[in-house]
Protein backbone atom coordinates (compact mmCIF):
# COMPACT_ATOMS: atom_id res chain seq x y z
CA UNK A 1 0.00 0.00 0.00
CA UNK A 2 2.97 2.29 0.66
CA UNK A 3 4.01 2.01 -2.98
CA UNK A 4 0.53 2.96 -4.21
CA UNK A 5 0.44 6.03 -1.98
CA UNK A 6 3.98 6.98 -3.02
CA UNK A 7 2.99 6.66 -6.68
CA UNK A 8 -0.07 8.84 -6.10
CA UNK A 9 2.07 11.42 -4.32
CA UNK A 10 4.54 11.50 -7.23
CA UNK A 11 1.67 11.92 -9.66
CA UNK A 12 0.43 14.93 -7.68
CA UNK A 13 3.92 16.43 -7.59
CA UNK A 14 4.33 16.10 -11.36
CA UNK A 15 0.81 17.36 -12.05
CA UNK A 16 1.32 20.34 -9.75
CA UNK A 17 4.68 21.08 -11.31
CA UNK A 18 3.10 21.15 -14.76
CA UNK A 19 0.40 23.60 -13.67
CA UNK A 20 2.91 25.79 -11.82
CA UNK A 21 5.56 25.84 -14.55
CA UNK A 22 3.39 26.07 -17.67
CA UNK A 23 -0.20 27.12 -16.97
CA UNK A 24 -0.70 28.52 -20.49
CA UNK A 25 0.39 25.18 -21.99
CA UNK A 26 -2.14 23.34 -19.81
CA UNK A 27 -4.90 25.72 -20.92
CA UNK A 28 -3.97 25.25 -24.58
CA UNK A 29 -3.85 21.48 -24.14
CA UNK A 30 -7.32 21.54 -22.57
CA UNK A 31 -8.72 23.19 -25.70
CA UNK A 32 -6.94 20.84 -28.13
CA UNK A 33 -7.61 17.59 -26.26
CA UNK A 34 -11.31 17.29 -27.22
CA UNK A 35 -10.31 17.37 -30.91
CA UNK A 36 -8.10 14.28 -30.62
CA UNK A 37 -9.92 11.02 -31.43
CA UNK A 38 -10.65 8.76 -28.46
CA UNK A 39 -8.83 5.84 -30.05
CA UNK A 40 -5.63 7.89 -30.30
CA UNK A 41 -5.95 9.07 -26.68
CA UNK A 42 -6.57 5.51 -25.52
CA UNK A 43 -3.58 4.16 -27.48
CA UNK A 44 -1.31 6.91 -26.17
CA UNK A 45 -2.50 6.25 -22.62
CA UNK A 46 -1.84 2.52 -22.93
CA UNK A 47 1.65 3.15 -24.32
CA UNK A 48 2.42 5.58 -21.50
CA UNK A 49 1.13 3.08 -18.96
CA UNK A 50 3.27 0.28 -20.44
CA UNK A 51 6.35 2.50 -20.41
CA UNK A 52 5.67 3.39 -16.78
CA UNK A 53 5.31 -0.25 -15.77
CA UNK A 54 8.49 -1.14 -17.66
CA UNK A 55 10.32 1.73 -16.00
CA UNK A 56 9.21 0.65 -12.55
CA UNK A 57 10.20 -2.93 -13.35
CA UNK A 58 13.67 -1.82 -14.46
CA UNK A 59 14.16 0.52 -11.50
CA UNK A 60 13.05 -2.10 -8.99
CA UNK A 61 15.42 -4.63 -10.55
CA UNK A 62 12.88 -7.38 -11.01
What does the pLDDT read at residue 41?
Answer: 96
Residue 1 pLDDT > 90: no
Domain extent at residue 42:
2-60
Q: Give the end-to-end CA distance of the chain in Å, rounded to a whole number.
A: 18
pLDDT digits (tens, 9 = 90+) for 50-61: 998 999 899 888
What per-residue confidence (pLDDT) applies to 19? 94
Structural domain count of the chain: 1
pTM for the complete prediction?
A: 0.70
- Does residue 62 surpass a pLDDT of 80? no
CA atoms in the 13 A half-sphere facing the CB of 8: 5
Percentage of the chain beyond pLDDT 90 is 77
Amino acid sequence: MNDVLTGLAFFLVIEGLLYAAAPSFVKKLATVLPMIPERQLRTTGLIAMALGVAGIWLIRGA
